[in-house]
Structure 1
Amino acid sequence: MEFIPYALPLIEDEEIKAVIDTLHSNWLSKGPKTVEFEKQFKEYVQSEHALGLNSCTAGLHIAQLAAGIGQGDEVITTPYTFVASANTIIHTGATPVFVDIDPVTMNIDPKKIEEKITEKTKAIIPVHFAGYPCDMDPIMELAKKHNLIVIEDAAHAVYTKYKGKMIGSIGDFTCFSFYATKNLVTGEGGMVTTHNEEWADKMRVMSLHGMSKAAWNRYSDKGTWYYEVEYPGFKYNMTDMQAALGLVQLSKLESMQKRREEIAQKYNEAFSQIDGLTIPFSNEENVHAWHLYVLRLKENGFTIDRAQFIEELKEKKVGTSVHFIPVPMQPYYKQLGYKVEDYPNALAAFNGAISLPLYPKMTDEQVNHVIAAVSELAQTFKK
């Protein structure tokens, strides 16, 4: 058995042809493919507006700016996320306020949010960890009660549904990632959705140097050389090469998700029978996108720690990752005074988390090899 990488994109002939066709079209940056991808994506997630960007991070940044978040404000989010969720708050001049996670779902705990709300709080950024949705009803109720903006970090949540509603249609803004490891890939790339036309227009201007919103097509026969800069904006736009990939990937998303679900179900059936392991939470009420399969080692469940477990899996040719190192553990945030001990559930989740390979390109043989490797280690090192 060759080494099984932690993640690989599923890029087939259709995606390659789409990119080549785009190269022949001479539209390399933002153009008609990006506009079409935005249209199809907003229809898929049932949102009024969608803006293609170069990353989910860009979406989180300009969503906060469009909502008027800035110096002196506070934004609530989870400590158990990739640093981009918090970094973008810093970039606006606001202050991140962390709320610990639910130890079962590993998402932000809605019951703990209200105690962190102050007169400076302007927004909540819930992160749909691993593809399982946050409990959005109480979050939206809190937001309404305190007049807060909800900006969903849906980097893991393309395809996720909460109580029958598509993620992308619930919060004030929703930010998606199409990075190379994600469920829908464009290499680099992202999308931000909103139902609010004013915010959508603001973000469109911000995303392309602050130029007037139609300036992207100024080199076409329908464009004009004249543009006006309305805001000191950013270079955050998506390209047509990325959008070409995205359109094909979107058309295949259902079949790719079916394969992810099959693999996750096989993992669940195998690992739920092993003492010392906790499988990811899921239920029938919501649709899990299975972006990640985060297996957790129970505390004191084995004679080796998580780091050694990972090394042993590597020896057995199984690639893994860890999601996530809590943000307060990072040096920059430690120097700001954040302490991971203040978020015990996030720390406990981190200490036991191992993300196993889970992607449509995996063969049954590879899936069975991962199961066998984990099972053997669990038996060898059980207490």
Structure 2
Amino acid sequence: MSRISVMKPWLGAAESEAVAEVIASGWVAQGPRTEAFEQAFAEHQQVGHAVATSSCTTALHLALVVAGVGEGDDVVVPSYSFIATANAPTYIGARPVFADVDAVTGNVTADTVEAALTPATRAIIAVDQGGMPLDLQPLRRLCDERGIALVEDAACGAGSTYRGAPVGVGADISAWSFHPRKLLTTGEGGMLTTNNEAWATRARRLREHAMDVSAAERHGSLLAPQESYSEVGYNFRMTDLQAAIGLVQLDKLDAMVARRRELADIYRSALADVPGVRCATDPDYGTSNFQSFWIEVLPEFPMGREQLLEKLATDEVSARRGIMAAHRQPAYAGHPGQMVPLPVTERLTDHTLILPLYHGLEATDQARVIESIRTAGGA
């Protein structure tokens, strides 16, 4: 049997042609394609400004900086997230304070965030985990009442919706990932979106060493203007090679989401009668892009999560453990940001796994995944 991967990006001839055009143009660094990608992404996400970056992590970093978060501040984050969510505040001298998550969606809620607030809380980072949209409105009210910045880590969220609109729209500022594990990929890369023009302007400057004249402007001038640096900035730029791929991928995003939702429906239907398996599903306030399709292995299932992963591997199916708990990682061992119990985070981390799901997943391969789980469950 051939191995079934947990994910594969949907890349093809159109992306190759787009990159070839950039190479032929002679402009491969951040330039006109990056600007075009920013404009197209902002329009698709129904937001005023988009700023391309080298990764979602650097977008989160910039988001916190432009939102005024700094040394000595607290930032409430889910532990149930890739470690970059906690790292971003750490980079700027702030303290990540871990909040628990909802048992069904895997996302923070207004209640779990409120339990983790401190007098020094300056911002929260709320994650659309695995593409599952978070319930933003209660978080919006909580932040507005306390004067706290609402940062949405929408790394997995491109194509997901919240109350009929794209996720990320209602936050003060949002960060996106274009890593190959995401639907829309540029290899590496990220984006920051916001309706705050001043924040977007500063983020554009900071990502480019805080130069007051962009590299594109300097290289496009016969007599380059003298640049100056008003503050310490960063090198968080995207290349035009990446942006060219991103533009093609953005045109395919709606088709990607439709296909993933179709595959998710097949999983849910096929596993509905298997005791001890709980499948990820849309909340009543939004729709998921199913960047990850995860199941929770409940106590009534005949084997534990680790045994099921081994069974799948024996059947040549590459599944993955669920989302990490950052507070358990050595980097955050004994960290003072663990101030409240995190029972749901720990339960989901220990008992969930991610099944293969990608645009090109063949029906016969998905059937093999389903059969492996059903056999393990005695169904």
Place the TM-score, normalised by the shorter chain, in its bin.
over 0.9
Q: Which residue of 2 aligns with 1:286?
A: 286
Alpha-carbon shift at residue 272 of structure 1 (Å): 1.7
- Alignment check: 8 A CA contact 2:275 2:301 kept: no
- Alignment check: 8 A CA contact 2:98 2:339 kept: no
In structure 2, stretches of 5+ residues that fail to align are: none
Q: Which residue of 2 aligns with 1:306?
A: 305
Residues 241-284 of structure 1: CA deviation (Å, up to 9, x unaligned): 10010000001111111111111000010112110100113145
Amino acid at match of 2:348: A
| Partner Cα separation in structure 2 for residue 377 and residue 164 of structure 1 | 38
Matched, 1:335 2:330: no
Amino acid at match of 2:370: I
| Partner Cα separation in structure 2 for residue 185 and residue 225 of structure 1 | 35
Amino acid at match of 1:275: P
Alpha-carbon shift at residue 303 of structure 1 (Å): 4.0
| Partner Cα separation in structure 1 for residue 258 and residue 210 of structure 2 | 40
Residues 121-173 of structure 1: CA deviation (Å, up to 9, x unaligned): 10010001111111101100000000010110001100111111211311010
Q: Which residue of 1 aligns with 2:378?
A: 379
Matched, 1:20 2:20: yes
- Alignment check: 8 A CA contact 2:75 2:124 kept: yes
Alpha-carbon shift at residue 110 of structure 1 (Å): 1.6
| Partner Cα separation in structure 1 for residue 51 and residue 187 of structure 2 | 17
- Alignment check: 8 A CA contact 1:46 1:168 kept: no
Q: Which residue of 2 aligns with 1:236?
A: 236
Alpha-carbon shift at residue 109 of structure 1 (Å): 2.5
- Alignment check: 8 A CA contact 1:81 1:323 kept: no
CA gap of 1:12–1:108, structure 2 versus 1, over 3 A, is same
- Alignment check: 8 A CA contact 1:340 1:347 kept: no
Matched, 1:70 2:52: no
| 3-state SS in 2 of match to 1:140 | helix
| 3-state SS in 2 of match to 1:355 | strand
- Alignment check: 8 A CA contact 2:302 2:377 kept: no
Alpha-carbon shift at residue 214 of structure 1 (Å): 2.9
1:1-383 to 2 correspondence within 5 Å? Answer: 1-221=1-221, 224-283=224-283, 285-298=285-298, 300-337=299-336, 342-379=341-378
CA gap of 1:150–1:56, structure 2 versus 1, over 3 A, is same
| Partner Cα separation in structure 2 for residue 198 and residue 337 of structure 1 | 33
- Alignment check: 8 A CA contact 1:151 1:173 kept: yes
Moved more, 194-203 or 221-230: 221-230
CA gap of 1:276–1:105, structure 2 versus 1, over 3 A, is same
Alpha-carbon shift at residue 215 of structure 1 (Å): 3.4
Amino acid at match of 1:164: G
Moved more, 225-234 or 89-98: 225-234
Task: Report the count of equivalent residues.
Answer: 379
Identical aligned residues as a percent: 33
In structure 1, stretches of 5+ residues that fail to align are: none
| Partner Cα separation in structure 2 for residue 373 and residue 116 of structure 1 | 40
| Partner Cα separation in structure 2 for residue 94 and residue 210 of structure 1 | 21
- Alignment check: 8 A CA contact 2:97 2:339 kept: no
| Partner Cα separation in structure 2 for residue 216 and residue 153 of structure 1 | 29
Residues 25-79 of structure 1: CA deviation (Å, up to 9, x unaligned): 1111101000000000000001110001110000100110111111110011111
Q: What TM-score do the two structures reach when normalised by structure 1?
A: 0.95
Residues 329-354 of structure 1: CA deviation (Å, up to 9, x unaligned): 10121132566992000001111111
- Alignment check: 8 A CA contact 1:329 1:340 kept: no
- Alignment check: 8 A CA contact 1:140 1:150 kept: yes
| Partner Cα separation in structure 2 for residue 35 and residue 153 of structure 1 | 22
Amino acid at match of 2:176: F
CA gap of 1:57–1:136, structure 2 versus 1, over 3 A, is same
- Alignment check: 8 A CA contact 2:72 2:95 kept: yes
Residues 187-228 of structure 1: CA deviation (Å, up to 9, x unaligned): 001100000111011111110111115333311248834211
| Partner Cα separation in structure 1 for residue 223 and residue 259 of structure 2 | 43
| 3-state SS in 2 of match to 1:335 | coil
Amino acid at match of 1:16: S
C-alpha root-mean-square deviation of aligned residues, in Å? 1.6
Amino acid at match of 1:344: P
Q: What TM-score do the two structures reach when normalised by structure 2?
A: 0.96
CA gap of 1:292–1:308, structure 2 versus 1, over 3 A, is same
| 3-state SS in 2 of match to 1:348 | helix
- Alignment check: 8 A CA contact 2:97 2:337 kept: no
| Partner Cα separation in structure 1 for residue 79 and residue 148 of structure 2 | 19
Alpha-carbon shift at residue 365 of structure 1 (Å): 1.4
| 3-state SS in 1 of match to 2:365 | helix
| Partner Cα separation in structure 1 for residue 32 and residue 338 of structure 2 | 47
